[in-house]
Structure 1
Amino acid sequence: MESSAKLPYDNNNTAAGSQCAGIIIDTCDNNNKSCGGEKSDPVLSSRISSSKYLFPSAYLMASLRTRIIRQFIPQRRRSRKSWKTFLLCMALTTVVIFVQLNCGWFEKHFLQSEFSLGFSYPANLDNFSNVVRRFRDSEGNTLDFKPEPINVAYSQISFLQKALDYVGKGPVGLLIVVKSATRNYKKRRAIRKTWGDEDYLKQNVMKQDLPTKVVFICGVPDGDDTHTLNELFKEEDHYGDVILAKFQDTYGNNTFKTMLAMRWATEIVKHYKYLMIVDDDMYVNPSNTISFIQEEIPSLKVQTLESNWSGAPAFFPIDETSSTGGSANIISLKGKPLIMGELWQDSRPFRNMIGPGSKWSISIEEYPFSYFPPYIAGGATLFDSDTVANLYYASFFTKHFWIDDVYIGIIAYKLGIPLTHSNYIDSSYRRRPSLGRMRDNFDKMLALHGLQCPEQLIELWSTLDIESLTDCYYLLS
């Protein structure tokens, strides 16, 4: 006999285990500890047990809601959390890659060598200074010289023009060599009208009537720019003050330009007292420079201070560092090798730079150490002639490095020559308004950077008003 028993709540012949709107409804009795693999909510179970017989529709809705809460919502939250984690990881990876490319973090902290633990730069020779002295005594004769030079690049470049007629055959007191790009004719013309004017220079001589001479050194134009090269030859024919060397005149070849200036002064001019190498966007006061050489240097007191990180020593005038002096070693600069300018200490190489900073990016292969030795910023540097010769001949035993002021610092460090900071040589690039910070020392300045165009140099020379310079936009319009 077929049973006709029905569930008490079966008004529509629908059981708790049947399908409702295409969704399977599971039931749990009160004695079960789990339902669907999850722990039963006692409050929800109590409500269901008391209402499922009386209100079947409410029971079905509660069961549906339970299924959604237990299965669908946690899964959606887990999915959202996974996406957030993924996006966060991608963002962190992007930041790490950017930092690595822009700052060379990996190279900076893992691959490079600590300067303070020991610095060596090829060629690594015992008694480096003695080797350089012997090589200088041989007048740079590389034939059968031991140890064999590793860098003869600067000695093998030929001079197309030497400016000998302009300099003359007699001794020179102050020789100023301006590093100029081939296309910078306007800058050279502005210098000839101002601090490089020949009549003005004739009034500024050192003791024993040693004259001051200003010349320009250039390479040949990059590429097949024969027009610029021909114009440069015409300029030399007219003024006679251009040294033209056969190397490509690019920013990466600045070391060639600096070392060829030293070679020219050492091998061709020979008889001079002091050399100043400057950029063609500098304001220079030859009169102040001569006075400083003759009056200040013989009595200048300096103290030796070591850099914080590299540990390399340098000379500082005592009037600048007396507040930190204490028992610092105070000596006289007279008779010491002279490499003077704006001193940079504790300077780090840029690693794997991208964007505008890539111009100065340096790989581990080029320079493996965490810091540079102290160096003088390349805008303007003052040397005595003996030191220039030592630096030039030492370059034969020092691997080429394309940043010229750093390269001079490396050679000086290998020779054991401390660099001297000057309060009156400002080589850092600054925009025109900040030149006003030099107003208190402007009448004593030897060299100053920050002029934005040749017209500003002409205006400054005529007015001597550093705070009221006309903006280049108005000068050129």
Structure 2
Amino acid sequence: MFPRVTLLYRLLAVCVFVSLIMILLQTADDRVHNKRLPVLLQYANEALREHDSNVDLKSLGKNTKVLNTNNSANITKITNRYTDPSTTRSPPVNPHNFKFLINPKNTCKSKSLKYMIYVHSAPKNHKKRQMVRQTWGSRAVLEKYNMRIVFIMGLVDDKSTMGRVKYESNTYNDIVVENFVDSYRNLTFKAIAGIKWVSRYCDNVTFVIKSDDDILIDMHALMEQMNSTEIKSYGTKNLIMCNQWVRMKVIRDKKSKWYISEEEFPDEFFPPYCSGSVFIMSIDAVKRMYQASLDTTFFWVDDFYLTGLLVKKIGIEHKRLNENYMLNARLALDKLKEDKKHELRFFHVHKLTHIYRMWSILKERMNSTCDDCLTHPPNINMTSLT
């Protein structure tokens, strides 16, 4: 019996030893895996910082599993994991380590500037940027109201598109490109890029206007409003004015591009925040929001992140301009024609032809004080931007 017992003990000892080895190997593998994502993100950012025509962004996304924005839920999990203080060795939580590849940093050199406008745009939206330059963001309007304008965007994996962007930049000197991948789920990167650029290169203005490139602004009526007694009573500090959303429901429909899982955001309603279409901020608020973004975990819904989370973090309240917005694009033209009291200032419009028609109406209202706003800017081949 004793030899059999000894053999049994030996077998048991071998099993225990093998089990311990497997556990140790699994633990080591988990540690490597946990460290791998931040390392891959760092690699991706370093590769983008060295971006040139030889970088294949599409293959980079496949290799790292970080820049592929088709799987939105996974990207959000990865980004949140990367910015979680518990898995990040050093602050800040959301460092936004991107570099400006195209940077008109001398845009705001003039000491007389009062307003800075930055417009969220996608690299492919050449025609929309032309629309802005020919209407409410024209040189005549900008000079009249001591304004400057830039268009904020990231990179796309299309050499032709980025070549046109470079051409626009050389022609107008109003393009800002940062080296994040320009996609829907990366709009918060674009939002941070905008306030980062303004904070660094345009902090001598009083007010900052953020807009999208499918928006028409009645700039002349807006400037009259900015000089009104009510707006002046708000002062020029700690200010954000916008179309405020209250109790906006979080979309749980998985078929929607706005779908948000309970894991990403557990509440059924968002706290108050602004429509991302257009909002107006004081320059001090912009600078404080950018600083706050460095310590605020990334969340892909850009308008909520910027005007909800960051605004709350710096402790200011929204000033409501809701009655001045027409955000139903299908009704924008008709509503402008019906606006006998001239109360509407901001219009979301899908069709460029409608925007030009609406701008003509607005010009008539202001007695043609901006006669050259619809002329094509010089030295530009419009057909090359189609």
TM-score (norm 1): 0.54
Please state whether the residue corresponding to 2:342 is helix, strand or coil.
Answer: helix
SS of the aligned residue for 2:114 comes to strand
- Please identify, of 225-234 and 194-203, the stretch whose mean Cα deviation from structure 2 is larger: 194-203
Question: What SS is found at the alignment partner of 1:431?
Answer: helix
Where do 1:39-78 residues align within 5 Å? none
What do the CA deviations read for 1:269-328 (whole angstroms, capped 9, x no partner)? 22111111101010112323333223244555xxxxxxxxxxxxxxxxxxxxxxxxxxxx
Could you tell me whether the CA contact under 8 Å between 1:190 and 1:455 is conserved in 2?
no
User: Which whole-Å CA distance do the structure 1 matches of 2:103 and 2:223 have between them?
Assistant: 24
Cα separation, 1, equivalents of 2:361 and 2:326: 22
**1:339-390, Cα deviation, whole Å (9 max, x unpaired):** 1111100112112x233x2x01111221122321100000001100011111
Q: What does residue 290 of structure 2 align with?
A: 392
Structure 1: distance between partners of 2:326 and 2:104: 26
**Match for 1:403 among 295, 301, 309?**
301
What does residue 246 of structure 2 align with?
A: 345
Residues 146-198 of structure 1 show CA distances to partners (whole Å, capped at 9, x for unaligned) of: xx421112xx1101112234443535211111111111101111111111111
Q: Distance in 2 between matches of 1:424 and 1:411?
A: 24
**Shift in Å at residue 446 of structure 1?**
3.1
Residues 1:152 and 1:459: Cα distance change in structure 2 (over 3 Å): same
- Any stretches of 5+ residues in structure 1 without a counterpart? 1-120, 125-142, 205-210, 301-332, 467-477
Q: Which amino acid aligns with 2:183?
A: T
Q: 2:155 maps to which residue?
A: 220
Tell me how far apart the structure 2 counterparts of residues 188 and 465 of structure 1 sit (CA, whole Å).
Answer: 19
Inter-partner Cα distance in structure 2 for 1:338 and 1:381: 10
**Does the 8 Å CA contact 1:283/1:447 hold for their aligned counterparts?**
yes
Contact 2:188 2:301 in 1 (8 A): yes
Are 2:242 and 2:320, in contact at CA under 8 Å, matched by a contact in 1? yes
- 8 Å CA contact 1:345, 1:374 repeated in 2: yes
TM superposition shift of 1:432:
3.1
Task: Say whether the 8 Å CA contact 1:170–1:271 is kept in structure 2.
Answer: yes
Give aligned-pair identity as a percent. 28
Q: What amino acid is the match of 1:216?
A: F
Give, in whole Å, the separation in 1 of the partners of 2:332 and 2:226: 30
Larger radius of gyration: 1
In 2 relative to 1, CA 151–283 (structure 1 residues): closer, same or farther, beyond 3 Å?
same
3-state SS of 1:168 partner: coil
For residues 389-445 of structure 1, what are the alpha-carbon distances to aligned partners after superposition, in whole Å with 9 as ceiling and x for unaligned? 111111111111111111120122233321121045426343136741783367343
TM-score by length of structure 2 reads: 0.66
Q: Which residue in the other structure is 1:285 paired with?
A: 218
Please state if 1:249 is matched with 2:150.
Answer: no
Could you tell me which residue of structure 2 aligns to residue 354 of structure 1? 254
Secondary structure, aligned partner of 1:394: helix
1:168 is matched with: 109
Structure 1 stretches of 4+ with a deviation exceeding 4 A read 121-124, 297-300
What secondary structure does 1:360 align onto?
A: coil
The verdict on how the C-alpha distance between 1:230 and 1:433 changes in structure 2, with shifts beyond 3 A counting, is: closer
CA contact (8 A) 2:116 2:202 kept: no
Question: 2:92 — aligned with what?
Answer: 149
- Structure 1 residues 151 and 442, CA, compared in 2 at 3 Å: closer, same or farther? farther
SS of corresponding position for 2:227: helix
Contact 1:380 1:427 in 2 (8 A): no
> Counterpart in 1 of 2:29?
none
Q: Alignment RMSD, CA only?
A: 2.7
Find the partner of 1:237 among 161, 167, 170.
Answer: 170
In structure 1, distance between residues paired with 2:340 and 2:84: 41
Q: Equivalences for 1:54-453 in 2 at 5 Å?
A: 148-153=91-96, 156-204=97-145, 211-221=146-156, 223=157, 225-300=158-233, 333-334=234-235, 337-351=238-252, 353-355=253-255, 357=256, 359-408=257-306, 409-426=308-325, 428-432=327-331, 435-436=334-335, 439-440=338-339, 443-449=342-348, 451-453=349-351
Work out the CA distance in 2 between the residues paired with 1:458 and 1:427. Answer: 16
* Counterpart AA for 1:151: N
Contact 2:209 2:280 in 1 (8 A): yes
- Structure 1's 406 and 199: CA in aligned 2 closer, same or farther, altered over 3 A? same
Partner Cα separation in structure 1 for residue 271 and residue 170 of structure 2: 41
SS in 2 for 1:464: helix
Q: Check whether the contact 2:108–2:204 (CA below 8 A) recurs between aligned residues.
A: no
Distance 1:377 1:260 in 2: 18
Change (3 A) 1:173 1:465: closer
Quick check: 2:236–2:282 contact (8 Å CA) kept in 1?
no
Question: Where do 5+ consecutive residues of structure 2 fail to align?
Answer: 1-82, 365-386
The number of residue pairs the alignment matches comes to: 279
The alpha-carbon distance between structure 1 residues 433 and 231, as it changes in their structure 2 partners (threshold 3 A), is closer
Q: 1:185 to 1:264 in 2, by over 3 A?
A: same
